[in-house]
Every structure is written in C-alpha cells, then in structure tokens.
Amino acid sequence: MTHDVTEPAAAASGHATSDARRTGAVRRAPGGPAGTGSAGPNRRGDDWRKRLEILVFVTPALALIALFVAWPIVTAVRFSVYDWKGFGDLTDFVGLENYAEVLGDEVFRSAVGHNMVIVVGSILLQLPLGVAIALLLNRKMRGQGLLRTIIFVPYVLAEVIAAVVWLQLLQPQYGFIDAVTAQIGLTPPEQGWLGTPEYALWIVLLVLTWKYLGLAVLLFLAGMQGVSEELHEAAQLDGASWWQTQWRITIPLLGPTMRTWAFLSMIGSIQCFDMIWVLTQGGPADATATMATYLIDEGTKRHNYGIAGAASVILFVIAFAMALAYQVLILRRDTQDDTQRYTRAESALFGALSRKRKAA
C-alpha cells in the first residue's frame, strides 16, 4: 500500500525539488535584501506557527513522561525522607534516617552485592560465549538462518515464563536437572538447587545467561556483518588462518559493539527483578535478594514506603554512577569518534548554510 503512495509522489518530487530549494533559500534568508518582499512580514507569524506546531507534536509524549516517569521519581525522593506507612499525609519528616536504615540493613547490603555478582557474572559468562557462538554462526553453513532464529528464542520469552519453565526443571528430586545430576552420579542438594543458599544465586545467574545470551549473539553478529569482506579476504591472501583472521580482525573490530552490549547488560542486571521474584522471591534466607526485590518487598509487603523510596533513590544513584563511570572510562573511545563525525557534519551544514546566505 505504501508503494502506491510513494511511487507517483516520488516521480513528482523531481519537479518539486527545484521549487523547494528556491523557496527554501528565500525562507532561510529573511534578513537579506532579496527576501524582504515576501518572507519578511510573515516571519513573526511563521515563527509562532512553528512553535505551536512543535508544541502540538511534542506535548503528548512529554506529558506522558512527566506524569508516569518524572512525577513518580520525584515522589520516590519525597517518600524517602518521611516515615510513611501508606495512610494519612506525609507528616513524619525523618530526614536521612531512611537512608541510614537502608544502608545499615544487612539484607540491602548483601542485595547490592548480589546485583554486582549478576552484573559482573553476566558479562564474564555472556561475552566469551556470545562471541564464540557469533563467530560460529558467522561462518557460511547450512541452516544458518534457522540457527539464528533458534538462538534468539529465549530472549523473546517473558522472563516470568522462562522462570516458570526453569522452576519445573529445577524441582527438587522430581525435576529434570536433579534426575540428570543423579544419573551422572552426583547427589543434588536436598532442598533443591534453588533452595540451597550457597547455590541459589549461581543458578539464577545461569538461567539469566540462558535467557539473555541470544541478544549478545545477535548484536555481535550484526557487528561482525559490519566488518568488510575485503579485510577478511586480504588477510586470507596474506596466509592468515581462519582463527588468526578472527582474533586479529573480527574481534578487535567488534570492540564498540561489545562495549555497548556490556553497557546494556549492566543496566539490565542492576534492576534485575522478574526472574528472581518467580524463581526464589529473593530467598532462600535472602541469598538472591537484589535491590529491586528489596524495595518491592518493603513497599508492597511491609508498606514501608519511606524505606522503599530511599532504596529506590540509592538504586538510581548506583545505576547512574555506574553508567557515568562506564561512559567516561570505556565508552568514551567510541563516542569520541561519533562526536567528531557529528561536529564535522555540523560544520559542513553550517558551511553550506552560510554559503547559501551569502549567495542570497
């Protein structure tokens, strides 16, 4: 259907462009002596119109964000300095006491530790595995398209659904995993893998890896497609083996993709909730509690809204600090290139504009 619309219009646009350029030039040169006749008096009206149009286009999105993102976040900060159990007005101002309580809480501190284990563990597991599988899938082989589809399936499933399936697999004694471990001669723990505090977090990490590896593979594959064939061919002509070509050319050129992926993975790990809530509810004995499960627990089960607010703010500060540090320390290399390109484009644009202005 879009075809019908575009085709004749595209044909017509050939005519239109020259007109458009002419009027565009006139509009862009309002101060110039040539433009005063027609564009000058209308300029104010045009400006107002433009502002109104921008407002019409942008307001719905901004209003929604203000209402459902900004307002709640401001409210979280407000909650964090009051002792509030969910009824009456916010009257019991306690200053930073909630923060002190959260930071002094052994459960919260271990939750931050668990978040860090998930952040680091996800990257350490998924980076090498993801690169290896992407390299494998990047080779010309039969069934490649199907393989790529299959590897991405876990990522598309809801975390909750994946968690419920794994919950069945990991059932103590009767589950598939316990049956397999028993068969190869190991004794699975009596409380089940998820029921044993020493194992639970690592099992959660493995399930998360299963769930999110597909995304890493997909992004790495896309990055590899950006590496030009010619480089590979040149390397092969020089007698480099397949492995050498990968280590020396593909993987180094994948750097920016890997760094961006790691950033996304980090941000996801820091707010990890769904999977854990279904698998363990943060247990056993808070062994898998994360900052998100902690604040949901405090907010919905105990109605300690002040504590939940303080925990939210701390979660945000940690996430923000990590994002900032990562941006400054690691991503800067990539974005530097971009900003250079950007400023180059900007200066080219300005150059073109000023030239046009002079011409007019």
The nearer residue to other proteins, 1 or 37, going by C-beta atoms, is 1
- Range 280-319, binding other proteins (CB under 8 A): 291-292, 295-296, 299-300, 305, 308-309, 312-313, 315-316, 319
**227, 259, 283, 356: which one binds other proteins (CB under 8 A):** 259
**24, 40, 41, 351: which one binds other proteins (CB under 8 A):** 24
**Cα–Cα dist 122/209, whole Å:** 6
**Does the bond joining 284 to the residue before it have cis omega, within 30 degrees of 0?**
yes
Least distance to other proteins, CB of residue 359, Å = 19
**Cα–Cα dist 57/7, whole Å:** 27
Least distance to other proteins, CB of residue 199, Å = 18
- Number of residues in contact with other proteins, rule: CB under 8 A? 124
**Cα–Cα dist 353/355, whole Å:** 5
- Range 177-196, binding other proteins (CB under 8 A): 178-180, 183
**98, 110, 115, 257: which one binds other proteins (CB under 8 A):** 257
**7, 20, 336, 341: which one binds other proteins (CB under 8 A):** 20
**Cα–Cα dist 273/251, whole Å:** 32
The nearer residue to other proteins, 198 or 339, going by C-beta atoms, is 339
Residues near 270 by Cβ (< 8 Å), separated by ≥ 6? 115, 119, 291, 315, 318, 319, 322
**Cα–Cα dist 80/75, whole Å:** 8
**13, 191, 335, 339: which one binds other proteins (CB under 8 A):** 13
Residues near 82 by Cβ (< 8 Å), separated by ≥ 6? 90, 91, 92, 93, 94, 98, 305, 306
- Stretch of 33-41, 104-112, 193-201, 272-280 lying at the interface with other proteins (CB under 8 A): 272-280
